[in-house]
Structure 1
Amino acid sequence: MMKAHKTGFRVYYEDTDAGGIVYHARYLAFAERARTEALRMAGTPVSALQEETGLVFVVTKLGIEYHQPLRLDDWAEITTTIDTVGAARCQLRQIVTCGDMRAATLTVELACIMQNSGRPARIPPRWRASLQALSNQS
Structure 2
Amino acid sequence: MDKSLTPQGGRFDGPLHQFAVRVYYEDTDLSGIVYHANYLRWFERARSDMLRVLDIDQRAAIEAGEGAYAVADLHIRYARPARLDDDVLIESRCTQLRAASVRMHQRAFRSSELLAEAQLRVGFVAPDGRPRRQPQEWRDAFLPVLSPVFPSVLSPDTPQ
Structure 2 length-normalised TM: 0.80
Alignment match, 1:127: 138
Query: Which runs of 5 or more residues in structure 1 are unaligned?
Result: none
Alignment of 1:1-138 (within 5 A): 2-52=14-64, 54-115=66-127, 117-137=128-148
Deviations 1:61-112 (A, max 9, x none): 0110011111110000101110101111111111100101010001111111
Distance across 1 between alignment mates of 2:141 and 2:82: 30
Structure 1 length-normalised TM: 0.92
Q: Give every structure 1 segment of 4 or more consecutive aligned residues whose post-TM-superposition deviation is greater than 4 Å.
A: none
Q: Do 1:39 and 1:45's aligned partners in 2 also have CA atoms closer than 8 Å?
A: yes
Distance across 1 between alignment mates of 2:71 and 2:64: 20
Q: Report the CA distance between 1:15 and its aligned residue.
A: 0.4
Aligned residue pair count: 137
Distance across 1 between alignment mates of 2:124 and 2:56: 14
Q: Report the CA distance between 1:132 and its aligned residue.
A: 2.4
Q: Report the CA distance between 1:50 and its aligned residue.
A: 2.0
Taking a change above 3 Å as real, the CA distance of residues 52 and 4 of structure 1, as seen in their structure-2 partners, is farther
Greater share of residues in strand: 1
Larger Rg: 2
Percent of matched pairs sharing the same residue: 34
Query: Which runs of 5 or more residues in structure 2 are unaligned?
Result: 1-11, 150-160
